[in-house]
Structure 1
């Protein structure tokens, strides 16, 4: 399964992220795959995708996820995909995933910023 590779890479890149994950890592891995599948399923519904990611970013900020963590997650995701897909992880595939992750991260960061602003008001 690809998700354990993601978490292995994530915690190798930043072991300080481990305490943010309160649930069993196998359950967390299933949630990650469900979230990625959901994002892919909503690509043709950009408004719904944006709302979903905005809410997710707000919720993650409450769990302690900070803007600096998004780059680490992106690097771990790219490594996971590269190791999982092997030769099928072409330059074009990499570019598509990187672009998608940038969209996901930017939208989630926007949701986190609005949640922080709203809770400070």
Structure 2
């Protein structure tokens, strides 16, 4: 596979992330499609989360009484919209640092630690990978190729690992303060 400049792209997986340069480019290209309609696409992701894992709604006090089947009710929830903005901006930062593995690892770890304060369990991040795999074909339409799927799975494997490590460390720190 060639790059924009016609030079061959190094397809050696990174020692830290396991991602190749070609996979990083696929992820970034498809992320631009997702991010173009960030609010709508984020609601798609969270609707899948809340439908497939209803217990997660308790982590969002403002979501406990929202009827996901009532047209527009979820989207009118100001607290939900604010969280969606934070989620998408965090993900955008992750996409920007895919080729800076040490920075990305630290960002993920730190975000995981902050989630421990909200009683998020590490297993939730295991669920997010399949949720993304369910949402991405919907938001990317025909752009969700087998290569794109493989790249996103590899990226999320790395991301989920470090998010969970951060949550676990945050839980240990919270337990030590009790």
| TM-score, reference length from structure 2 | 0.63
Name the CA distance, whole Å, in 2 between partners of 1:53 and 1:65. Answer: 14
How far is the alpha carbon of 1:22 from its aligned partner?
Answer: 4.3
Q: Does residue 5 of structure 1 match 2:44?
A: yes
Question: Aligned runs of 1:30-109 on 2, under 5 Å?
Answer: 30-109=85-164
Gaps of 5+ in 2: 1-39, 63-78
Query: Which residue of structure 2 aligns with residue 17 of structure 1?
Result: 56
Match of residue 27, structure 1, among 60, 79, 82: 82
Paired with 2:170 and 2:85, the residues of 1 have a C-alpha distance of 26
Question: What is the distance in 2 between the residues matched to 1:9 and 1:96?
Answer: 21
The two structures, once aligned, show a CA RMSD in angstroms of: 1.5
Q: How far apart, CA to CA, are the structure 2 residues paired with 1:17 and 1:115? A: 19
Give the length in aligned residue pairs: 121
- Contact 2:122–2:168 (Cα < 8 Å) also in 1: no
Native 8 Å contact 1:57 1:111 kept in 2: yes
User: In terms of Rg, which structure is larger?
Assistant: 2
Greater length-normalized contact order (CA 8 Å, ≥ 6 residues apart): 1
Alignment gaps of 5+ in structure 1: none
CA distance in 2 between counterparts of 1:27 and 1:99 reads 28
Q: Residue 113 in 1 paired to residue 152 in 2?
A: no
> Which structure features the higher share of helix residues?
1
Rounded to whole Å, the distance in 2 between the matches of 1:109 and 1:30 is 22
